[in-house]
Structure 1
Amino acid sequence: MYLKRAFQAIIFSQCLITSSSFATTGGGQNIELLGFDKKEKKLFLLRHFEDGRGRLPQLYYYKFDNTSKAPPLIEVKSLYINPKTHKIDYDQDSKRFDQEMDKIINRLTPLIKVENGQPQLHILRQRTQEVPSWHEENETLTEYNFTYQVESNGLSSIPQQATAYLPELNIAQQYRIPTQNKMIVTIEYFGVPIETGYNLEDPVLLTPIKQMR
């Protein structure tokens, strides 16, 4: 089956908690970069949900062509249709999903790992605010809203957004895409401050700067 990268949660001595309006996941999320389909020019990845619910991981892809400056991340829905109800069901048995994933992964070319920390993460804007906690009525915690960009040797992402509860963003994974002058990185941050706290991870695509203008 496909490999799953171990996800490490940040542990605090005290339980940090979030506001009542924050849509919690009850656990962390991590990204598995699956590989590149050279024929269809698609980069596939999975988002795993470590919340104990047992839901299926979400499949996404980037589709590259000669005109797309920064292709959007496409969410795949067809693999999640329950054959009995004909509706999207993320909690169904994984057997059919795993079979379809094996078919996809068998045609993918592995990504090329980038060593020595070449990509650089730049904070463009940072806004902080105190938000009420849902656990203690008279307590608050600091929420950090980041706008950031990642660059590496003539490649750059479009501006990205992240909401965190620690003042830091980190590059967790960094890969080049075969036959493409592009990179994919993942950004990890403390995004769920309940219980012992959990990290979130987001994919960020880097394309040639001249194509972004």
Structure 2
Amino acid sequence: MDANQHSRENPFGMDEACRNCPALCEPRTQVVHGYGDVGADFLFVGERPGPGADAAGVPFAGDDGAPFRRLLERLGLCRVDSDPDWPELVNVYLTNLTRCRDPDRRPTDDEIENCEPFLNAEIRMINPEIIVPIGERALHEIGEEYTTAPVDDLDVVAQHGTAIRGRGFELVPMIDPHEQSDEQIQSWLESFAALMASDYRQTKGRQER
């Protein structure tokens, strides 16, 4: 699978007509694959597309994605004046556990499992230094697959902004931005800014940027 970095949207050319989850094909507007820099150090993973993402085809797009994008802007990872449906990201890739949205419910375990090959392919191709699971479910799914920590020990509130050793990278969990207090937003920003300023890159054969 080759990347097309001329396009930030679905740069790996994943199936945009996927029907692996029949119950999601009717309520979705479109399949929402990952978006951003294919050579990014930072990979952010939510649970499912929001309403704006479902409409635009880009993770965390639209008004409902604004609280998350403001965090990226404050870190210098997203241009402040960029189109909310097509944000201009810097060294960042955005994706979700699942690729389709049902407006009335969260994804089932089977739907997350059906989408797992898409996420695993993105992680392999991007080979990020830092993965940010957004919300409890993303933390558990990614933690189970990519860390040696017992899943029952993973808690997005307790570990919000705390680095967790993964397999070749670190996880830095984030509480859903819609659910964060002002204090939690500030603490996560400070923790992540400190990480960005550190020598966070692992020795794993990455090319220099």
TM interval, shorter chain, is: under 0.3
Give the TM-score, by structure 1 length: 0.25
Q: Which has the higher strand share?
A: 1
Q: Which has the higher helix share?
A: 2
Give the TM-score, by structure 2 length: 0.25
